[in-house]
């Protein structure tokens, strides 16, 4: 990537994304964040330029700068991605750490955050705008949808199907071939051995639905 990148979100995820880009010798032009207290301040030696809807800086995207959305709240993440697509006609770039392992035989969408030690195996299909934390693993032939979040050390075994907007907590294991429905939440450390319905929250070993 030749152009510098503007990171949307000056939070922990934005700071981690900055380190990822710099691990690949990509210049970070600055942060955009809606917290006005941060504006014009420096964060890890990079300036918080303004808000996420600051037209003066948005005009740079697609011309002189690329964009990356570092927001872990899916609703806000979707809004920012939609704005970039509709107003700037650009897709956010992927942030893939130099110490991540993404097979050239895997399929990868746009705007994904893939941290150090994360692995995407051959034949895996990754959608767009996902967050894959440290040492997470996506196995051979597994399918992961859009806006999915994988916690640190979580394991998606071969041929598992993870639909859009699923949240998988740190250290969770999804057994081979299991399907996880849209918007489901998997508790940290859980072992999922059977299908999980859309919108369902499961926890434990073996994972069971949470009682309301």
Residue 110: pLDDT above 80?
Answer: yes
Buried (b) or exposed (e) across 196-212, using 16+ Cβ within 10 A? beeebbbbeeebeeeee
CB 33 within 8 A of CB 57: no
What percentage of residues in the chain have a pLDDT greater than 90? 95
Domain boundary among 69, 93, 117: 93
Give dist(CA 134, CA 123) in Å, integer: 21
Residue 177: pLDDT above 70?
Answer: yes
Domain boundary among 58, 93, 128: 93
- Asked whether residue 212 is assigned to any structural domain, the reply reads no
pTM across the whole model: 0.95
Please give the tally of structural domains in the chain: 2
Same-domain check for residues 200 and 98 = yes
Same-domain check for residues 68 and 123 = no
Q: Which residue range(s) make up the domain with 155?
A: 94-204
The model's pLDDT over 178-190, given as tens digits with 9 standing for 90+, comes to 999 999 999 999 9
Catalytic-labelled residue, pool 89, 97, 110, 133: 133
Domain boundary among 36, 65, 93: 93
Active site annotation includes 133: yes
pLDDT band at residue 210 using 50, 70 and 90 as cut-offs: confident
Same-domain check for residues 130 and 31 = no
Stretch 164-174: mean pLDDT? 98
């Amino acid at each position: 990537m030749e152009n510098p990148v503007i990171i949307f979100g000056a939070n922990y995820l934005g700071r981690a994304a900055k380190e990822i880009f710099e691990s690949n010798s990509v210049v970070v032009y600055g942060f955009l964040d809606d917290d006005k207290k941060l504006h014009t301040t420096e964060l890890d030696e990079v300036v918080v330029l303004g808000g996420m809807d600051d037209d003066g800086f948005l005009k740079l995207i697609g011309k002189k700068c690329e964009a990356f959305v570092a927001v872990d709240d899916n609703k806000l993440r979707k809004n920012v991605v939609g704005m970039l697509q509709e107003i700037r006609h650009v897709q956010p770039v992927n942030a893939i750490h130099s110490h991540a392992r993404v097979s050239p035989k895997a399929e990868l969408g746009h705007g994904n955050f893939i941290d150090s030690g994360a692995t995407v195996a051959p034949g895996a299909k990754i959608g767009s705008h996902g967050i894959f934390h440290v040492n997470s693993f996506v196995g051979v032939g597994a399918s992961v949808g859009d806006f999915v979040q994988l916690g640190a050390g979580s394991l998606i075994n071969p041929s598992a199907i993870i639909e859009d907007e699923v949240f998988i907590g740190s250290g969770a294991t999804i057994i081979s071939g299991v399907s996880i429905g849209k918007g489901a939440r998997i508790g940290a450390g859980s072992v999922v051995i059977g299908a999980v319905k859309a919108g369902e929250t499961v926890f434990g070993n073996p994972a069971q639905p949470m009682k309301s």
